[in-house]
Amino acid sequence: MTITGPAAARRLLYITEEETAAHVDEELALEAARAAFAATVDGAVFSGLAVHGSDPRNRFTLKPSASATHAGVKIGTYWPGNEEHGLPRHHSTLLLLDQTIGRVAAVMELGAANAYRTAAADALAVDLLARADATTVAVFGTGHQAAYEVAAVSRVRPVGEVLVVGRTAESARRMATTLAARGHNARGAGAEEACGRADVIVTATTARADTAPLFEAAWVRPGTHVSCMGADAPGKRELPPELFARARVFCDLPEQARRMGESQHAPAGTVLTPLGEVLTQRTAGRSDASDITVFDSSGIGLQDLYMGLALLKKMDISL
C-alpha cells in the first residue's frame, strides 16, 4: 500500500527526558502556567482520569487537552517500586496529535518538566491568593517535589524562612539541608509549629484519606494561604476537612477537584472558584488580610500542553 497525502510526509517526533530537562526552568514553567490557566476560562477544559496499573500499587493519570491550534494527552505515572531500579517514582509523557490526520505527531518525555509544571501552578496560586507580605513557608513533604515547590514560591514572594515537616524528624532534617544548600533558610519543624508560623502552607505528599490529615484545621492562622498539591486521585487527602469551613477554596477545575482533588472530601455546598477566573480578573481572589485561602491542585492537561509547546518553542522545534 502506498501512503499519499498529509501522512506521507509525517514522521513521529520523539523528544527525550534529557532534552526537555535541559531546557525547562522556573520562568518557562510559570509563564506556561499563566497561559494555561488563562485559557481555562475561554473554553472547555477536559477532566482527567486516574487509574491503576496491573499492580494496584502503580497508578497513572490521563489528562487530555486542546487549544485553538494543538491537542494532546499527558500520561502521568507513579510507580513507587521504581526506586529499586534507580528511577524516579514519578514520570510524565505528553503525546501531541497531528491536527491534520489525528495521529500522534510528537512524544515528549517530561519527567523533570512535570515537577516544574506542578510547582508553577503553586507559585501562580500563591502570587494570586497569598498576602503580599507572606515570608514564611511551611512545606509538608520531603520527596523530590518539595524542593521544586519552595523554589517556585520563592520567585513570587520574598521567602525568608522555610519550615519542613516530614514523616520523621530525620527526613525533615535532610530536606532542610537540601534546601539550605540551595540558598534557602530552612529547618525541620513539627506540624503544629509550622502551621502556627506559616504565611503559606504547601502540601506535597502522597497522603490518603485512610490516614490522619497532615495537620489540624485549628492550627492554621487567619490570613494563611494553603496550596494542596498532592491530592490528584480518588482516595487521596492531605487537609483536615474542617478547614473548608474556614477557607475560601480555589481550584484548577471544579469538576475534577470534586472527583479526584482535595475537594472530594469537602462538605456539600463548598464553593470552588477556578483559579483562571482570578487570573483573568473575572472573580476576586483574596478579599481580606484575614482570609484563609486554599488552592486545590489536581492538575490539568492544558497546563501540560502549554508546557510542552513552550519547550518546543525554546528548542526551536515546530510540528
Contacts of 233 (CB under 8 A, 6+ apart): 50, 59, 61, 260
What separation in angstroms does the CA of 77 have from each of 24, 85, 127, 181, 231? 20, 15, 28, 29, 14
For residue 112, what is its C-alpha cell? 523533570
Q: Are the beta carbons of 264 and 292 closer than 8 angstroms?
A: no
Partnered with residue 72 across adjacent β-strands are 65, 96
How many Å apart are CA 296 and CA 235, to the nearest integer? 15
How many Å apart are CA 113 and CA 142, to the nearest integer? 19
Q: Is residue 221 exposed (0-12), middle (13-18) or buried (19+ Cβ within 10 Å)?
A: middle
Question: Parallel, antiparallel, or unpaired for β 59-66 and 71-78?
Answer: antiparallel
Active-site option among 74, 236, 313, 314: 74
How many Å apart are CA 283 and CA 42, to the nearest integer? 14
Catalytic annotation present for 314: no
Give the length of the chain: 319
Catalytic residues: 74
